[in-house]
Amino acid sequence: MAAARSGAAVAAMAWLRALPPGGTRLRSELRTERREDGPGAGELWPAAERRGGGCLGGQGEAAEAEAFRLVYRFPGIRYCRLLSRLKLLQTGAALAVLPPVCYLHLRGQAPPGLLAYTGGVALLAGAMLYGMSYYFRRVIGLIYLSRDGRNVRVSHLTFWGRRNDLCCPVEAVMPLAEVGDRKGEPLLQFKRYDSADVLYFTVRFGQIVDREGFTQIFGELE
C-alpha cells in the first residue's frame, strides 16, 4: 500500500514538472506560493481562490485589504494545501483504475485478487482523503483584525484546497483562557459563541504578526 501511494505521489510531481510554462492554473498557483515566502507576505493563496462572504458587504477585495490588518499567519498552510490537492489527484487516479479492472474481471481477463486489491486501494484512498481533508479544512492559515477592532477575518482551506474566508465580530470569538488552551500547546482552538464549528491554529509553528491585535482577539496566553 505504501509503495503504491509513494508511486502515485512521484507520478503526480513528475506530471506537474512536465506541464508547459504558463500552462495550467495549478502550476501557476504553486509558483505563486513559492514566491510568497517572505515574512511580510500576508497572502498564502491566490486572490482568485477566495471563497466566503466579504466582511464589508461586498465592497471588494481592495477595500477589505485596506480595512483589515494581518494578525497571524501560518506558512505551513501552503503545504497543507498542496498535500490536499495531491491527495485528491491520487484518489481520482485510484477510482479511475477501478472500472477498467472490473470490466477485465467480468471478461475473465483479470483475477479476483487484482479486483480485490484495486478495490481496496480505492477504498483506502477515499478514506484517507476524507480523514486528511477533515483536519486540513480546520487549519487556519491567516487571521485578520479590522482596523476599527470590531471584526475578525479567518482564512482556512476548503475540501478542494481552496481558500475560504470566515468573518465574525470580535465579541463572538472565545478568549483562549475560556477555551482552556495554554501557551505551550501545539494547537490552539478558534471557537465562537454562535457556532459549534472549531478551527485550529498554532503559535509554535505559526507567526504572530501583530501581538496587540492578537491579544485583542484572544486575550493573553497563560
Confidence of residue 52 (pLDDT cuts 50, 70, 90): low
Q: Are strands 140-146 and 68-73 parallel, antiparallel or unpaired?
A: antiparallel
Judged by average pLDDT, the poorest of 1-5, 106-110, 137-141 is: 1-5
- pLDDT confidence of 185, banded at 50, 70, 90? confident
Residue 175 pLDDT level (bands cut at 50, 70, 90) = very high
Mean pLDDT on 201-212: 92
Helices (H) and strands (E) in the chain, counts: 7, 8
Mean pLDDT for 2-31 is 43
Specify the long-range contacts of residues 89-94, CB closer than 8 Å, at least 24 apart.
Answer: 89/8, 89/12, 90/5, 90/8, 90/9, 90/12, 90/125, 90/129, 91/122, 91/125, 91/126, 91/128, 91/129, 93/8, 94/8, 94/118, 94/121, 94/122, 94/125, 94/126
User: Is pLDDT of 32 > 70?
Assistant: no
User: Quick check: 55 pLDDT over 80?
Assistant: no
The residue that leads in pLDDT, 38 or 64, is: 64
Q: Give CA separation, 212 vs 29, 167, 175, 187, in Å.
A: 32, 19, 14, 20
Q: What are the start-end ranges of the E strands in the chain?
A: 50-51, 68-73, 140-146, 151-157, 163-169, 188-192, 195-201, 207-208
pLDDT value of position 169: 94
In this prediction, residue 120 carries a pLDDT of 93
Which has the higher per-residue pLDDT, 160 or 6? Answer: 160
Expressed in percent and rounded to 5, the helix, strand and coil fractions of the chain are: 50, 20, 30
The model's pTM is 0.69
If you average pLDDT over every residue of the chain, what do you get? 78
Q: Is the pLDDT of residue 45 over 70?
A: no
- Mean pLDDT for the stretch of residues 67-82: 92
CA distance 109 to 72: 57
| 20, pLDDT greater than 70 | no
What is the predicted pLDDT for the residue at 30? Answer: 39
Mean pLDDT along residues 186-199:
92
Q: How far apart are CA 118 and CA 140, in angstroms?
A: 35
pLDDT for position 25: 43
| Percent of the chain surpassing pLDDT 70 | 70
